Amino acid sequence: MTAILQDAAQSASLDRLFTAAHAARENAYAPYSHFAVGAAVRTPDGAIFSGANVENAAYPAGCCAETGAIAAMVAAGGRQIAEVLVVADCGEGIWPCGACRQRIAEFATEDAVVHSAGPEGVRQSIKFAALLPRAFDRQTLESESG
Give residues 24-43 in contact with ligand THU (rule: CB under 6 A): 30, 33, 35, 37
Report CA dihedral (107, 89, 33, 125) to the nearest 10 degrees.
20
Residue 78 CA to its chain's centroid (Å): 14
Query: Which of 20, 81, 100, 132 is the binder for ligand THU (CB under 6 A)?
Result: 100
Query: Among residues 41 and 86, whose Cβ is nearest to ligand THU?
Result: 86
The rounded distance, in Å, linking the Cα atoms of 136 and 146 is 17
- Residue 46's region, left for phi above 0, alpha for psi from -120 to 50, else beta, is left
Query: Which of 13, 16, 19, 62 is the binder for ligand THU (CB under 6 A)?
Result: 62
Give residues 80-99 in contact with ligand THU (rule: CB under 6 A): 86, 96-97
Q: Which stretch binds ligand THU (CB under 6 A): 58-66, 73-81, 102-110, 125-133?
A: 58-66
Report how far apart the first and last C-alpha atoms of the chain are (Å, whole number). 50
Q: Does 65 bind ligand THU (CB under 6 A)?
A: yes
Strands 81-87 and 38-42: antiparallel
Query: Among residues 36 and 82, whose Cβ is nearest to ligand THU?
Result: 36
| CA-based torsion, 11, 12, 13, 17: positive or negative | positive
Which segments are annotated as binding site for Zn(2+)? 64, 97, 100
Binding residues vs ligand THU (CB under 6 A): 30, 33, 35, 37, 53, 55, 62, 64-66, 86, 96-97, 100
Q: Which residues are the active-site residues?
A: 66
